[in-house]
Amino acid sequence: ATPTALMVGTGRSAKMGILIKNGEVLEAVNDVKTVVFDKTGTITNGKPIVTDVIGDRATVLATAAALEATSEHPLATAVLAQAKADDLKVSEVSDFKAVEGKGVTALVGGKRAFVGNDKLAADSVLPDELQAQVADLQDQAKTVVYVGVENQVIGLIAIQDAPKPSSKSAIAALHARGLKTVMLTGDNVRVAQAIAKQVGIDEVIADVLPGDKADHVQALQKDGAVAFVGDGINDAPALTVADVGIAMGSGTDIAIESGGIVLVKNDLMDVDRALALSKKTFNRIK
Ligand code: ADP
Ligand code: MG
């Protein structure tokens, strides 16, 4: 290998906002058969907004906002922004607990309350009129969170996170290269499938617990080398396990550290550009 070609290749890509950390990555890119994407913040903007509140709007939103006040989850940010827009008073909570991959719970006004997904609401009473709306909202690519007080679901909040403008063309470009695309997400399967349809992703693996993402990448490696594209804390192990780890520049520090390639502009088209550039550079130094 001639180091000059390597430097030229990575130098040029760096100007495009594609940081390639080492030569190993360049070599692995040639063998990639599958590109796996995280959803939130990778395929989507990662800036979710509240679109619907089912139940008594003020009570449901105020309860959720109180619970989410100290959470750093993107869904929490959406709930807090809406509570602020609605001019609601957000009360203090105690005994706050984050339940990984499910949601959060705390004491609100002395009562145990929660906000999170169906797994977190599984032990609570869910009124039929609420249940009836869940699938509909999810098919509109909206994440539904359940808000409950003392084992009674009091309402639903639907939250939408739109795909990035370039996601669809980026996926199409990878398909044109003959690559398979997969979405790996902790979100619900209906929501994941609705987003996948919007951007043209081949396969969806949903309801994945944060600790299980790397295992799914390993399973996909049975069919050939895998590139994983992600941004979150929970994406770090998958970025490490993948043959090519591609981190979003807007991602968490640990994701950026774990990726062999970093996309500074957070543009998914840069996945295809990174693959093209790596191939070119690798073929030149071979
Ligand atoms: P992702 O980032 O792919 O959505 P997570 O593992 O962070 O995956 O979360 C999985 C699901 O758990 C979310 O889609 C949501 O339904 C629920 N959840 C997690 N954290 C929260 C939270 N702070 N508030 C509400 N729901 C949450
Ligand atoms: Mg993410």
The whole-angstrom separation of Cα 94 and Cα 106 is 6
The whole-angstrom separation of Cα 230 and Cα 208 is 14
**What's the chain's average pLDDT?**
93
Ligand 1 closest atom vs CA 71: 23
61: tokens are 């939103």
Distance (angstroms) between ligand 2 centre and the Cα of 38 equals 6
The whole-angstrom separation of Cα 119 and Cα 152 is 14
Domains delineated in the chain:
3-45+163-285 (3.40.50.1000), 49-160 (3.40.1110.10)
The whole-angstrom separation of Cα 96 and Cα 112 is 10
Distance (angstroms) between ligand 1 centre and the Cα of 64 equals 14
Catalytic site residue 38? yes
> What local confidence, expressed as pLDDT, does residue 188 receive?
95
Query: What integer is the mean pLDDT of 34-49?
Result: 96
> What local confidence, expressed as pLDDT, does residue 9 receive?
58
The model's pTM: 0.89
The protein residue whose alpha carbon is closest to atom 7 in ligand 1 is: 101
> What local confidence, expressed as pLDDT, does residue 192 receive?
98
- Report whether pLDDT(210) > 90: no
Best CA proximity match to 250, nearest among 40, 23, 35: 40
Confidence of residue 26 (pLDDT cuts 50, 70, 90): confident
Distance (angstroms) between ligand 2 centre and the Cα of 281 equals 29
> What local confidence, expressed as pLDDT, does residue 1 receive?
39
Query: Residue 241 CB: number of other CB atoms within 10 A?
Result: 18
The whole-angstrom separation of Cα 234 and Cα 246 is 14
pLDDT in tens, 124-160: 999 999 999 999 999 999 999 999 999 999 999 999 9
Confidence of residue 11 (pLDDT cuts 50, 70, 90): confident
Where is pLDDT greater, at 237 or 100?
237
Best CA proximity match to 266, nearest among 228, 231, 227, 226: 231
| First CA to last CA distance, the chain | 6
The whole-angstrom separation of Cα 219 and Cα 235 is 16
> What local confidence, expressed as pLDDT, does residue 2 receive?
44
The whole-angstrom separation of Cα 212 and Cα 161 is 23
> What local confidence, expressed as pLDDT, does residue 107 receive?
97
88: tokens are 């609601």
- Report whether pLDDT(85) > 90: yes
Helix, coil or strand: residue 270: helix
The protein residue whose alpha carbon is closest to atom 24 in ligand 1 is: 103
Query: What integer is the mean pLDDT of 211-240?
Result: 96
The protein residue whose alpha carbon is closest to atom 20 in ligand 1 is: 103
